[in-house]
Amino acid sequence: MENLWKRVAELLQNKHFAKYAVDYDRRPLIKLTNDLNGPRMRLIHWSTLAAVQRIPHSDENLAVDALESIDAYGVHTCEIFMVSHRWLRPRLDSSQSHPDSSDNVKAHAINEFTKWRQEWIKSQYGFSPEIFYWIDFCCIDQHDLTTAIPLLPLWVACCERFLRIETPDYFERAWCRLEPLLSYVFQFADHHTIIHLDFKYSEDEFDSGKKVEPLILDPLEGLTTDEADLLLIKPIVDLTKEIQIEQCRRKVDFGKTTIKCFQL
């Protein structure tokens, strides 16, 4: 575990990683991350979520290998969204915990976002993108989180875009504070997109979103269901203080630094 943390830190400081991080093609980043010999990066395709109408567990193997899938569709048609969200049914017993409500309200919001995003890209660029999502519940082996957690900064960097599903307590949660922080420090995206659980796409009332600038808050002062999570979060926060890929961005000052977002 300690060796993996070291390899992650070394890769984040690698000049080739920094160079690739500013390009829309995420495959070089994904390959470098996969080469660390941890879990390979996996994604879930929009059509899978639309078909099952829920957020599937990693055991169902509905997430696909990131590199193979991007190559299959063609890099110029693909977008990758990191999904940041507060789990709606958290439990200390992980076998009883689930990120969505019993009526799959979050999955429905993501599917509605897919419709919006495909229409927006089509209206701007003339094609409908193949959207992949990185969702923790689908894309991380839920029985082997130990080897996955150190890779979180890299997986965030490997995503081209960032989708926040905000709930009233989103900003209180430690993990929900950590993910935007990682995006600001390591990710290519210059903004986030925000939706809420009741988001619905409308052809008649197409909206490009309202610009907002929420604060970046200290994850170590956030809430967790399991207090032991803070021990996992601390070394990741430490990395963000030591390394910054996007040199044009100011160093993070918790409670003062903001992130540009568009709220749908």
pLDDT band (50, 70, 90) for residue 35 = very high
| pLDDT of 15 over the 90 cut | no
Please tell me the predicted confidence (pLDDT) of residue 94.
84
Is the pLDDT higher at 92 or at 208? 92
- Between CA 44 and CA 69 the distance in angstroms is 10
DSSP 142-192: TT--TTTGGGHHHHHHH-SEEEEEE-TTGGGBHHHHHHHHHHHHH-S-S-E
Phi and psi at residue 115, to the nearest 5°: -60, -45
Report how far apart the first and last C-alpha atoms of the chain are (Å, whole number): 39
Average pLDDT value for the chain = 93
Cα separation, 158 vs 152, whole angstroms: 10
How much is the pLDDT for 194? 98
Per-residue pLDDT tens digits for 248-258: 678 899 999 99
| 223 CB-contact burial (10 Å; exposed 0-12 / middle 13-18 / buried 19+) | middle
With 70 as the cut, is the pLDDT of residue 21 above it? yes
The C-alpha atoms of residue 8 and residue 134 are separated, in whole angstroms, by 19
Residue 163 contacts residue 38 (beta carbons within 8 Å): no
The first and second tokens of residue 262, run together, are 């568009």
* pLDDT band at 153; cut points 50, 70, 90: very high
Confidence of residue 1 (pLDDT cuts 50, 70, 90): low
3-class secondary-structure state, position 203: coil
pLDDT at 206: 78
